[in-house]
Each structure stands twice: as C-alpha cells, then as structure tokens.
Amino acid sequence: MTAQQQEEIARKVQERLLLLQQIQSESEAIQRRIIELEVVQSELDRTIESLEYFDSLDGSVEALMNLGGGVFAYVDVKDSKKMLVDIGAGVIVEKEVKDAIETLKKKKEKIQQSVLKFEQILQQLAAQAERIQAEIAEMTKER
C-alpha cells in the first residue's frame, strides 16, 4: 500500500470519527430531552392523582398551596369541582375536574408519543454508529 493510499484511508477514518462524535452529541441531546419529558409525565401523573382526589370530595376542602421556594400556605378550596387549566399558549380556562383530568391525560399521551419517537431516533442513531464503527474497523484492518 502506498503512502498516498494510507493517507486517504487515514482521512476517511478521521471523517468517520468526526461523524461518530456528531452522532454521539445528537444521541446525548435526545437522551436529555427524553429525561425532561419523563419528568413532565411524572408531574402530570401527580397532578392527575390530585385531581382525582378532588373529584372524590364534596364541598370545600382545606389544602396546602405551594408558594415556591419550599413555602406552603393553607388554603380553603371553595369549589373543588372546577379547576383552572392551562390549555397552551398561556390560555387558561375553567374546566370541570373530570375534563381537566382528560386534558392532562391527552397531554400525557402526546408526551408519551414524543418519547417513543425520540427512542426510535436513538435506535436509528445507534445503528448508524455501529455501521460507521464497522467501516472504521474494516478500513484500519486493511492498513
């Protein structure tokens, strides 16, 4: 093998290594996004659970309200059958508890679909990385 051929192989290997690094960066970003979505899902689960509790009650309820920074206040919820729900784009509407639960379940479903799509993309990236690693192994074996 000539020096020129070896240089060409080294250049191709370097290109593949850069591509592998790019795939790794993309994979890490997708994994972070999946974790963020799973946190949101968990939050929705807790909210749905709380709303189901409110739905089971009659009349007013005393509850704790999170003011932020680890500070809570006792509040009287006069109407535990209606909630204010953010439906997106900063729009808040009043809904019956059952409707609020359904809205959150739909949000959760959309998030789950996004997680599945991201997981599929991760699998594709992993397969692509394996192919590139095999190419690199083949090229370096020829040296």
The domains of the chain are located at 3-142
Q: Which residues of the chain have pLDDT under 70?
A: 142-143
pTM of the predicted protein model = 0.80
Q: What is the pLDDT of residue 24?
A: 97
**Topology (CATH level 3) of domain 3-142:** Helix Hairpins (1.10.287)
Query: Position of tokens 């790794």?
Result: 24
Q: What is the pLDDT of residue 142?
A: 63
Q: What is the pLDDT of residue 140?
A: 86
Q: What is the pLDDT of residue 123?
A: 98
Sequence-distant (6+) residues with CB within 8 A of 73 are: 64, 65, 67
